[in-house]
Structure 1
Amino acid sequence: MSSGDPSGSQASGHLMQAIAARRVVSAVFLMCGGFFGLWASRIPDIKAATGLSEGWFGVLLLVMALGAFTAFPTAGALMDRHGPARVTKGAALGTAVAFTLLGLSPSVVTLVAALFFAGFAFGSLDVSMNGWGAEVETALERPVMSSFHGLFSLGAGVAAAAGGLAITLGFSVALHFCLWGLLSVPILVVCLRQHWPQSVGGAETQDKAPLFAFPEGALRFAGLIALIAALGEAAVTDWAALYQILDLGYSEAMAPIAFTVFSVAMVIMRLAGDRIIARFGPVPVARVSGFVAFVGCVLLVSGWNIFVVWIGCFVMGLGYAVLFPLAMSRAAADPHMSKGRALASVATLGYGAFLFGPPVLGFIGQLFSLGASFAVVALLTLIIPFLAGALKVKS
């Protein structure tokens, strides 16, 4: 009797390795979201410590954005040369160190350096962990990217809530950031120890990466989906509360609930999204998601009453949740660009919209109203169902 099929045993071994790697990548996404929420929770305290005005502090925040945008093409090129797993390990370690140093910065000068370092490390991690996640998704032969992003959102929410507790307990920014850095150590250890076969790009990856990578071919439309989804998420994050207060006249105490329900919907849908995508496919899911997000925008803009506004934000969260993960999965599978360049290009569009979209919406709000800003978001979202076909990979 045969002792077994060697090829079957090898396949089983690869599957077990992919399952283990999925747990590690999930933990890295959770950690990355945690650092995002950590930073967001202490921005007011850091601003107060600098003594800068809102305008100058806004300029300071652009340093972090500059670091991230510098990282996208760099991380993409490194991924193509060394594989996403190795880059993820280095970027994860760099992110933990960078955010710890961010909390220890004693002056504006050191804060500028720490912000650039943190932005660069965070941007590198964002691109590389999506690349590793896409390889795990391919190895498992089923969608998993949405759940990764769901854990990022969950980590951000938990860290933001922990930040509120830290403030209540009187923790200094330095102590808070150091403690959070220590909490990341177990994740870093398992990440660094996880074996994953090195994968590199083809011959086209030998070309020098451009300063800012942009999608090519059909991937442009997938990148546009990521841009519109990120803009919608940024609009709710930055302007939903003020829209309710200034345009609709609701109380300041009630306004933050809109973002809370939006975030809850994002987490729920992202964690459930993989099963939905596996059953119906990325193109139909993206089409329905775009329409659902549009309906949510319309409910928000209508402002009929506070409950309709909250329902609108919840529906928007359901609609936008899986669009960015779908775009990143499409980028990783693009047949015409290397994985690193493709992921970097989509990240550039998506995070560019998240960072620079809110000021544009604010300008529209100043000229007309914040309701008009959300109407613009709604009209752009309506384009997504027509772009969804670009999420299908064609050889």
Structure 2
Amino acid sequence: MSDWRSPKLAVSVVFLFNGALFGTWASRIPSIKQGLQLSASELGMLLLLLALGAILAFPLAGSASDRLGAAKLSKALALLVCPALIVVGIADNVIWLAVALFVFGAVHGALDIAMNSWASEVEKSLGRSTMSFFHAMFSVGAGLGAGLGSISAWLALHYSVFFILATLILLPLLWLCWIPWQFNNLDTHNHKSSFQLPRGSLLVIALVALCCAIGEGAMADWSAVYLSDVLNSDHGQAALGYALFSVAMVTTRLMGDRLVNKIGATNTVRFCGVTALLGSLLLVASQSLYQAYAGLLLLGVGYSIVMPLVYSNAANNTQMKAGAGLASVATFGYGGMLLGPPLIGFVAEWIGLRQTFALFALLAAVVLAGAWAFNQDKALVCKNQAES
């Protein structure tokens, strides 16, 4: 093994790879909708099937990760997700697309659990926070995949061809992941794959994940609508709002581990909760586009580091094995992503969009109140002391 192919690099590549493939798929959704003449409701149901596949795969992936090893499972699933995406591209009717998306969602979701479990092992071996950087790599990969997808659409390249080319371009990256990795945390006697509800402090962490995911998912679908309908911005100005939110999130994630290592996980979550609270209040009170932009920037910072710390703490919890803990909180996170956009729509129909966005302040308050449950910094310190 070359010295520069470190475990941190290997995990970073897996996150980048998975994010890029998901961005590749997401960028061509309009083309698939048009190519198969899907209605909005049909597309919505297909997207729900993708999410359902992921949620059902979580407990299976968590159990397999604990029994077989997170690194081994991550590598295998990274290879499987490529043909799964290609099958999505070549599906020529709604039925086959539904099956393909369910499988793609399951493999993508399973890889999400496995790679986060591997990331937590590397984090423990290093004795310092690294999870925020790994999640930043996923975001960078998603942006890369979306960018390539936009170019392929501009070139009028059929999405099936693009999916094949994208996997061929990205597959060589996995060579960087093929490193020896042994972590003495396997549970060879655990054959359970059923979902386990989090409890105690892990339940608090799962609720924080739910609130953060609702906000993040709603920003993706509703921030541009808010800027357009409430502040009367044009479509370009409205789209810029979510771009600013995303840039703030990725930038903060790249710096997040330094912050966690300096002030600890609990104080970092408190910082994120306060920042998200201020951002949501500023966004709701905004009378100008620039005030709204500032609110979205603060929200991007506030939401950025929470989910990486959720995954890290779930993997380090003492109540269940790492894979099972990750599966339990990931279900809450995905549930929040699914619930957020429709929930905002239903409530906005009732009380108005500006008033509905005030709910994000309540979600941020839950994040702030649940910060006490994040004690990953203590676990890493104990790990360092044990190995000294």
User: Which bin holds the TM-score, normalised by the shorter protein?
Assistant: over 0.9
- Asked if residue 295 in structure 1 is aligned to residue 278 in structure 2, the reply is yes
- Asked if residue 319 in structure 1 is aligned to residue 305 in structure 2, the reply is no
- Asked if residue 379 in structure 1 is aligned to residue 379 in structure 2, the reply is no
How far residue 293 of structure 1 moved from its aligned partner, in angstroms, is 0.8
Deviates more, 1:162-171 or 1:114-123: 162-171
Distance in 2 separating the partners of 1:235 and 1:54: 18
Partner of 2:74: 88
Counterpart contact for 2:129–2:261, Cα < 8 Å: yes
- Per the normalisation by structure 2, the TM-score is 0.93
Distance in 1 separating the partners of 2:196 and 2:81: 22
Counterpart contact for 1:286–1:323, Cα < 8 Å: yes
Distance in 2 separating the partners of 1:202 and 1:104: 39
Cα deviation per residue 1:258-317 (whole Å; 9 max; x = unaligned)?
110011011100010011100110001110111001111111112311111111111111
Counterpart contact for 1:214–1:348, Cα < 8 Å: no
Partner of 2:21: 35
Residue type of the alignment partner of 2:179: Q
- Asked if residue 52 in structure 1 is aligned to residue 38 in structure 2, the reply is yes
Residue type of the alignment partner of 2:197: F
Distance in 2 separating the partners of 1:199 and 1:209: 21
Distance in 1 separating the partners of 2:166 and 2:366: 40
Partner of 1:24: 10
Distance in 2 separating the partners of 1:84 and 1:202: 11
Distance in 2 separating the partners of 1:303 and 1:95: 43
Counterpart contact for 1:235–1:374, Cα < 8 Å: no
1:206 aligned residue (190, 206, 219): 190
Cα deviation per residue 1:116-170 (whole Å; 9 max; x = unaligned)?
1110010001111000000000111111100000011111112212221111111
- 3-state SS of 1:249 partner: coil
Distance in 2 separating the partners of 1:82 and 1:53: 42
Residue type of the alignment partner of 2:9: R
Cα deviation per residue 1:208-259 (whole Å; 9 max; x = unaligned)?
232x333121111111111111111111101011111222222122100011
Cα deviation per residue 1:75-134 (whole Å; 9 max; x = unaligned)?
001011111111111111111221122112122122111101110010001111000000
Counterpart contact for 1:293–1:316, Cα < 8 Å: yes
Distance in 2 separating the partners of 1:184 and 1:165: 16
- Asked if residue 348 in structure 1 is aligned to residue 331 in structure 2, the reply is yes
Matches within 5 A, 1:1-395: 20-191=6-177, 193-202=178-187, 206=190, 208-210=192-194, 212-392=195-375
Counterpart contact for 2:117–2:326, Cα < 8 Å: yes
Distance in 1 separating the partners of 2:302 and 2:104: 30
Residue type of the alignment partner of 2:231: L
Residue type of the alignment partner of 1:41: S
Q: CA RMSD in A?
A: 1.8
Distance in 1 separating the partners of 2:191 and 2:358: 42
Distance in 2 separating the partners of 1:387 and 1:151: 26
Give the direction of change, closer, same or farther, for the CA distance of 1:94–1:372 in structure 2 (3 Å limit): farther
- Per the normalisation by structure 1, the TM-score is 0.92
How far residue 200 of structure 1 moved from its aligned partner, in angstroms, is 4.1
Cα deviation per residue 1:25-47 (whole Å; 9 max; x = unaligned)?
10110111111211121111111
Q: Percent identity over the alignment?
A: 39
Counterpart contact for 2:121–2:183, Cα < 8 Å: no
Distance in 1 separating the partners of 2:141 and 2:356: 29
Residue type of the alignment partner of 2:322: K
- 3-state SS of 1:336 partner: coil
Residue type of the alignment partner of 1:159: G
Distance in 2 separating the partners of 1:257 and 1:24: 33
Residue type of the alignment partner of 1:197: Q
Distance in 2 separating the partners of 1:130 and 1:199: 17
Distance in 2 separating the partners of 1:100 and 1:165: 18
Distance in 2 separating the partners of 1:337 and 1:372: 40
Residue type of the alignment partner of 2:196: A
- 3-state SS of 1:215 partner: coil
Counterpart contact for 1:245–1:251, Cα < 8 Å: yes
Distance in 1 separating the partners of 2:94 and 2:175: 32
Q: How many aligned positions are there? A: 377
- The unaligned stretches of length 5 or more in structure 2 are 380-388
- 3-state SS of 1:196 partner: coil
Distance in 2 separating the partners of 1:344 and 1:107: 32
Distance in 1 separating the partners of 2:261 and 2:182: 25
